[in-house]
Amino acid sequence: MNRQNSEWNIRTYPDTILRATAEKIVNIDGKIQKLADNMLHIMLAAPGIGLAANQVGELERLIVFDRNPGKDNKDPCVLINPEIILKEGEVKYEEACLSVIDFSAEVVRSAQVKIRGVDLNGKPMDIEADGLLAICLQHEIDHLNGILYIDHISILKRALYKKKLKKKLKAKK
């Protein structure tokens, strides 16, 4: 685990954990509670609108997100074992990611989604979303499945990003 001062750090591409599939959470214990609390803190401090456990080096099916993304009145939420149960429509949106540094790209996603999961008390939650919240939820659930938003863009754009990143990483050495 990549920790500093007992807190989790955001993992960045090409870290292999970002390509792993997270495991279903069967027991919501103190470890999961602490992970969720830390993820909320990291997301809000970044600042970001969503974060998946893979992004902090944990292969647990847990996401945190802001129910009011892009607005001043933050409404942070934790969702365990989220799954998309309904998708409708199509929308293009310029996405970025805390784990994919210095890059954004237009991605096609479903315009409306219905997500099902449980909260930190194990209580079932259904979330119907559209707009930026729908995009955020799909983006974070992709992370839990080892998928990055750059997987949704053209091979050429992805290759250009990888080349730019390789150059940047070489310059840091």
Residues assigned a catalytic role = 140
Q: Cβ(40)–Cβ(76) under 8 Å?
A: yes
The tokens for 46 are 């970044």
Q: Cβ(103)–Cβ(161) under 8 Å?
A: yes
H/E stretch holding 64 reads: strand 62-66
H/E stretch holding 129 reads: strand 124-130
Specify the residue for token string 């955001």.
10
Answer left, alpha or beta for residue 141, where phi above 0 means left and psi between -120 and 50 means alpha: alpha
Specify the residue for token string 């930190």.
120
Handedness of CA 45, 115, 133, 162 (dihedral sign): positive
Handedness of CA 54, 57, 62, 68 (dihedral sign): negative
